[in-house]
Chain A
Amino acid sequence: MNHADCEVFAQRWTEAIVGTSYVAMGRRMLARHLLELTDQLVEGFLAAEFDPSVGRDVGVAMVESHFTGTDTLKETLALIAEWLPGLPTSAPPRVDVSSRVAQLVGSLAAGYASALRERSLDEQDAIYRAGLRARRQAEQALAASEAKFRAMFTEAKMGIGIGDMEGNITDANPALQEMFGYTREEFTQLNVSSMVHPEDAASVWDLYGELVRGERDHFRMEKRFKRRDGGEIWTDLTVSLVRDESGVPAYQVALLEDVSERRRLQAKLQYQAYHDPLTALANRQMVTERLDQVFAGPASQRRVGLCFLDLDGFKVVNDSLGHDVGDQLLKTVASRLTRCCGPGQLVARMGGDEFLIIVEDTGGEADMAVLADKILSAMAAPVRVGGHALTVRTSIGVVERPVADTNPADLIQAADITMYQAKAGGKGRYAMFDQNRNDSEVADFTLSATMLAAVARGEFYVVYQPLVDLGHGTLRGVEALVRWRHPTLGVLGPERFIRLAEDSGSIVQLGHWVLARACEQAKAWRDAFGDAAPLVSVNLAPRQLHEASLVTDVTQVLADNELDPSSLQLELTEQSLLGDDAGPLTMLTKLYGMGVRIALDDFGDGYWNLPDLRRLPLRELKLAGSFAAGLQSPCDRVDQRIVRALVDLAHALDLTVTAEGVETLTQCERFQAAGCDTGQGAWFGLPRAPEQIDALLRGADPLCNREAL
């Protein structure tokens, strides 16, 4: 046997069966493998003791290499049957070649078939086992996840319902059962379509329709349901579509959270946000929003009216009878107001004892006047509270305007201001908004509000009016008077702003500023003119006398300017000393004790109290200008006698007397004749800048107008 023959055979074998089965070998490796099998076959074929099982071994080996194709076997058998008989040359004698070939071929076929059968059965077995294992694992995983789902379904605080695609409810968890009051069995008799609530938004069922048609996968909304017992619940509802593996809608799952309590709370909070808890009327917030609505709409032709009410003397009720009575009174007022109003009219409590009525679409001020009258008469009957019969009086500010001409803030402000006018006008009445009056009040308000800043900016200055000794005709002193050089209104006199300053309290700072300026000036004169320097007289507002720091302030200013207290005079009116407070008198006494001259200003105007002249720590009496006017008349001797009596009285009390408002020679002479010590007025000179006082002191200018007249 020639090995080369075997190689040739193996090569032909390779060509014949390559591609007929899948083996993990390239062609060269395959050829090597088949050569080994060829050697094995040839050896067996030529063996002295022939054993056909060598064929079987080769068949088995082939299947082990993953030759599994039938064509592989067919080609192999054909090749062996064709080629082996050509090898008798090296065969032992008496060998039956064709019998051996037939046996070998048969044996190889049997080995291949039997190995293939075993292999196939093993592989089938393996794949079935793998299938079973995989299925078991999947089932375990499914069971685990179903157990998890079941636990979640049962234990969830959220209601869970499951339905088929026809809307039949198939399951409901305990939370859902409790939420609706149905048992699970009752639920399974229900269809989703029966869960309509009469007030459902149409969109609920549109969304539901889209879901069951498979057009959407979930939706979420707040929806009301009827419970089994007829009660109503609000739920946060999420409905989800569950599809099968091929994407076909299979069933629906609804998750419901009971949000009834939250809704109730929200409604309550909403109500509280817009209502006054005591009277249940609308509150300021609601007023703001309602007015915003009124003004948000198209303005053309629309008019709106407000009544701003304030109870007169409510504080007294509260303070004297207690807050409970006050609260009852407010509730009664609220219900009376509500009865006065109809549709399109909103009654609100703005706080305290202030109420506001908004009237939409008014026809003019007359409509509002009718309403205001109606309110005033509704308030006329006494209010019975806890055994008291309380008379309620209210002041009402009324404003009525075209919507186009105003805005909510201006409207309320106008009504508020007008209410104060009604109060100032005597209470228990209404006032209709007056534009001119409003303008002047706005102007006053503006002046008042900007005053202190103007002081700081240096817009204020002090002028000085001569006080002239009527005996010697010399300059005895000057009265310091304040002016405001307003950037737009020009120079303003005290009559324009002192009252405002007193109302706002700015008078304290302003008065102190004037005092400080005047004392600085006094020092300047003292430095320049020594003992010839004039006494400086400064007005003291009633309010200043209530400032605890007045004495220290005066002391400090005097010290700052190294002034003797006797060179300063403070003028005050009798009015300053009215009232029960002992403070002002104590302070005056201290100032008097320091040596500061105290003058009683404008004596004779209005209120006279002669005993005060004795009681008060005074050094000077200033007779009001009205006396000067009286002395002007040539024939009236009564006035002269009165002036003389006053001067005598003052002198008796050790007071000096200054005549104010002296404008003519006649007046001057008559005051001289009456024994008056000092004169002040146009006759002696108008208020002027300090430099002009310097000129007087130097004698450069004449002391009075006498020559000029």
Chain B
Amino acid sequence: MERSSWASDDVDIEHASPARVYDYYLGGSHNFAVDRQMARQAMDLWPELPLIMQANRAFLRRSVRYLVSQGITQFLDIGSGIPTEGNVHEVAQAAAPEARVVYVDVDPVAAAHSRTILAGNQHADVVQADLRDVTTIFDHPQTRQLLDPTQPIGVLMVAMLHFVPDEADPASIVAQYRKMMPPGSHLVLSHATHEGRPDQAGSHTELYRRAGAPLTMRSRLEVEALFDGFDLVAPGVVFLPLWRPDSPADVDDHPERFTGFAAVGRCR
């Protein structure tokens, strides 16, 4: 399909954006009426959604700390969304002040807001790009300025790849990133799944499809397959709260209610 090549990506605030809906789930106000309407519909169907998003956000925080503990101080956060409490650069820089972060989001509003938030921050910047434009992302001046290609990178695809349908071949996209990742790099991934709450998955998927951001939920095996070329860090692919919790108290009695898988892999 050809699109007019001279029309730039339109800034669409008439439709809900996953980044702003996610912000609303987290209790933020970086969202418009359409986003809130969409989020409320989803929460009517699935009241635990805010908890799931919190769990996802908590996983992001823990995984970044883990990566810093492994000596990684540079991060590429793909699909970073709207900045909010516990941003990657805040978490990373709290543990390693020299840590550098490049945020990537295709949503022009999310990218514009991130740019404002990060103005003056020498160690973090944002690139507006599509997940699939791997070379654009790695060749971007901001990326080249902040990330040292000879040192390991933490690539974060947190709650990202379920927006990539099977036809777009997410495994090959991950493989392209792997090729660009220096030795010792890590991939952090969380992904929506129908395993855990198969009863909810169908209506939820339908809602996102209608909203123009179709979701593809994937099984544990499918998520594991995305780590081709990586060694999974213990405990492997698990429900969100089960990935290296800060304390046993943080783990819910029914972690499967948090219908997302979390995993970290190290480049082979």
Contacts and interface: CB of A to CB of B under 8 A. Distances in A.
Nearest to A26: B246
A127 B82 contact: yes
B61 interface: yes
Interface in A1-50: 19, 21-24, 26-29
Interface in B165-223: none
A217 interface: yes
22 contacts: A24-B86, A26-B247, A27-B246, A27-B249, A28-B249, A29-B246, A121-B29, A123-B28, A127-B109, A127-B113, A129-B116, A130-B30, A130-B112, A131-B13, A133-B115, A135-B108, A138-B8, A138-B108, A149-B6, A218-B2, A242-B3, A247-B1
Interface centre among A134, A146, A149 (most CB of B within 10 A): A134
Contacts of A134: 11, 108-109, 111-112
Contacts of A245: 3, 10
A137 interface: yes
Given A130-B112, A134-B11, A135-B11, 7 more contacts: A21-B27, A24-B90, A24-B91, A123-B28, A127-B29, A133-B116, A240-B2
A637 interface: no
Nearest to B25: A22
Contacts of A127: 20, 29-32, 82, 109, 113
A22 B50 contact: yes
Nearest to B251: A27
A142 interface: yes
Interface of A: 19, 21-24, 26-29, 65-66, 68-69, 119-121, 123-124, 126-127, 129-131, 133-135, 137-138, 141-142, 145-146, 148-149, 217-218, 240-245, 247, 250
4 nearest A-B pairs in the assembled complex, by CB-CB distance: A24-B86, A130-B113, A26-B246, A123-B29
Interface string B222-249: 0000000000000000000000011101
B133 interface: no
Contacts of B58: 26
A219 B27 CA distance: 52
A68 B61 contact: no
Nearest to B55: A19
Nearest to A68: B27
B26 interface: yes
Interface centre among B2, B82, B91 (most CB of A within 10 A): B2
A545 B136 CA distance: 89
A587 to B, nearest CB: 88
A145 B6 contact: yes
B11 A138 contact: yes
Nearest to A144: B8
Given A28-B247, A120-B29, A137 B3 contact: no
Interface residues of B, number: 47
A66 B86 CA distance: 10
Contacts, number: 117
B3 A133 contact: no
Contact of B109 (A131, A217, A218, A241): A131
Interface of B: 1-11, 13, 20, 25-32, 50-51, 53-54, 57-58, 61, 82, 84-86, 90-91, 108-113, 115-116, 245-247, 249-250
Contact of B112 (A124, A131, A218): A131
A304 B28 CA distance: 94
Contacts of A129: 113, 116
A387 B91 CA distance: 110
A242 B4 CA distance: 6
Nearest to B5: A145
Contacts of A121: 29
A437 B26 CA distance: 108
A141 B5 CA distance: 12
B170 to A, nearest CB: 22
Nearest to A119: B29
A120 B7 CA distance: 34
Contacts of A141: 8
B10 A243 contact: no
Contacts of A24: 57, 61, 85-86, 90-91
B36 to A, nearest CB: 11
A598 to B, nearest CB: 96
B247 to A, nearest CB: 5
Contacts of B91: 24
A242 B82 CA distance: 33
Contacts of A123: 28-30
A218 B1 CA distance: 10
Contacts of A120: 29
Contacts of A217: 1-2
Contacts of B3: 242-245
B50 A142 contact: no
Interface centre among B1, B7, B29 (most CB of A within 10 A): B29
B85 A23 contact: yes
A560 to B, nearest CB: 84
B8 A142 contact: yes
Contacts of A131: 11, 13, 32, 109, 112
A673 to B, nearest CB: 116
Given A22-B53, A120-B29, A138-B10, A130 B116 contact: yes
Contacts of A145: 5-8
Contacts of B109: 127, 130-131, 134
